[in-house]
């Protein structure tokens, strides 16, 4: 069997961490669905910046949209929504066949809103209505101000992909926002069966920041292991939160657990195997969003096995060791969140500038 497709036999869904107009139009995305068992797509400002600035396929739409005196941000969302709608349509049959578990395509709110609760919630609702597809997920950063926007959006029946999660305490707050949002929607007299959400836990960036500290502390043997250990502990939180009396009441009404999604899964350190993060965290009721090159690497030489709940004692010990060595993981994950916002702001600013330049020449 195709090695990527084999992952799904262990209960994990592989989503593609990439979108552009070419991959939709030339049949590549369809072949990834058919041959590799890809079950969804995620996008972000950096992905769209690369797609739009490196292709002339968007020029016609930029010209059309710019005639209406729209802002550059409005033009961008006009371009992005068209791609998201087309991708959603490609996944619509999988969405139905999977009973609304998979087949989702994610579109992110403006990264400029990452620390603005009301504006984030308003734009999430606006994008949800404009895309007008049951299998779209709106991405909201899991910042402190984002938590209320996540709850409000879920409370309005919107599918949400919570992005930019690095730390365990924040992840648990996100699960609370999701469950509370479901309760709000139910209390307002609505069905909750259609609502789906994932919590995107970013991995390799943690190790990029922590690994040099490990060398300094004489813990070099733990390099490349802190992110994986954190993810395994997050899965323990997931299993605890989505069980018990409070959750069972919602499950009885058709609620779906908010699955953990592993993001930033390409190895940044050339000393690591290029499929390291994918192989280490395969397990039931999870999602892994994977760049195209990592999907191709896994297809070639990846090993699919049920690994997520292996080595839980070692994962606990890893986090205890770094704490004992004076490495403050909570401080590190907050730094990563702050840097993550900046890393999405920069390509978004670049993207808006390139759209502005393109609009002037049309």
pLDDT in tens, 251-277: 999 999 999 999 999 999 999 999 999
The set of catalytic residues is 139
pLDDT for 325 equals: 98
287-307 pLDDT, tens digit per residue, is 999 999 999 999 999 999 999
Which backbone phi and psi does 322 adopt, to 5 degrees?
Answer: -70, -35
Residue 306 CB burial class (10 angstroms; 0-12, 13-18, ≥19)? middle
79-95 pLDDT, tens digit per residue, is 999 999 999 999 999 99
Residue 305 vs residues 87, 260, 284, 323, 356: alpha-carbon distances, Å: 29, 18, 11, 30, 47
Q: What is the mean pLDDT of the chain?
A: 96
Structure confidence at residue 72 as a pLDDT band (50, 70, 90): very high
The residue-averaged pLDDT of 211-221 equals: 97
The residue-averaged pLDDT of 218-225 equals: 97
321-350 pLDDT, tens digit per residue, is 999 999 999 999 999 999 999 989 999 999
The residue-averaged pLDDT of 141-170 equals: 98
- Select from 326, 315, 253, 252 the least CA-distant residue to 280: 315
Structure tokens at 287: 């999602």
**CA–CA dist 212, 226 (Å, integer):** 12
Percent of the chain with pLDDT over 90: 96
- Select from 157, 163, 210 the least CA-distant residue to 182: 157
Structure confidence at residue 68 as a pLDDT band (50, 70, 90): confident
Which backbone phi and psi does 297 adopt, to 5 degrees?
Answer: -65, -45
The residue-averaged pLDDT of 13-28 equals: 97
pLDDT for 196 equals: 98
Q: Is the pTM of this model over 0.85?
A: yes
Predicted confidence (pLDDT) at residue 198 exceeds the cutoff of 80 = yes
**Which residues have C-beta within 8 Å of that of residue 225, sequence separation ≥ 6?**
207, 318
Predicted confidence (pLDDT) at residue 215 exceeds the cutoff of 90 = yes
**CA–CA dist 131, 82 (Å, integer):** 8
pLDDT for 362 equals: 60
């Amino acid at each position: 069997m195709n090695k990527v497709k084999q992952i799904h036999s262990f209960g994990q869904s592989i989503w593609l961490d990439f979108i552009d107009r070419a991959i939709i139009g030339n049949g590549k995305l369809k072949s990834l669905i058919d041959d590799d068992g890809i079950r969804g797509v995620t996008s972000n400002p950096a992905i769209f910046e690369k797609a739009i600035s490196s292709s002339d396929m968007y020029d016609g739409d930029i010209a059309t949209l710019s005639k209406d005196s729209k802002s550059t941000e409005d033009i961008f969302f006009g371009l992005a929504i068209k791609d998201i709608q087309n991708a959603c349509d490609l996944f619509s049959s999988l969405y139905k066949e999977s009973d609304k578990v998979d087949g989702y395509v994610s579109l992110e709110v403006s990264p400029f809103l990452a620390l603005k609760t009301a504006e984030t919630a308003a734009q999430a609702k606006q994008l949800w209505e404009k895309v007008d597809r049951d299998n779209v997920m709106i991405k909201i950063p899991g910042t402190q101000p984002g938590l209320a926007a996540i709850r409000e959006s879920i409370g309005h029946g919107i599918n949400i992909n919570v992005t930019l999660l690095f730390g365990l305490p924040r992840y648990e707050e996100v699960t609370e926002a999701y469950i509370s949002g479901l309760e709000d929607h139910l209390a307002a007299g609505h069905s909750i069966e259609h609502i789906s959400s994932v919590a995107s836990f970013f991995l390799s960036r943690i190790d990029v920041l922590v690994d040099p500290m490990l060398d300094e502390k004489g813990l070099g043997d733990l390099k490349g292991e802190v992110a994986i250990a954190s993810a395994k502990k997050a899965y323990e939180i997931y299993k605890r939160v989505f069980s018990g009396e409070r959750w069972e009441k919602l499950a009885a009404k058709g609620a779906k657990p908010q699955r953990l999604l592993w993001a930033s899964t390409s190895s940044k350190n050339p000393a690591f195997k290029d499929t390291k993060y994918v192989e280490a965290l395969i397990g039931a009721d999870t999602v892994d969003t994977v760049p195209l090159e990592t999907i191709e690497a896994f297809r070639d030489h990846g090993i699919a096995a049920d690994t997520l709940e292996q080595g839980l004692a070692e994962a606990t010990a890893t986090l205890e060791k770094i704490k004992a060595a004076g490495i403050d993981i909570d401080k590190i994950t907050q730094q990563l969140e702050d840097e993550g916002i900046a890393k999405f702001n920069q390509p978004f600013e670049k993207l808006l500038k390139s759209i502005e330049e393109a609009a002037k020449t049309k």
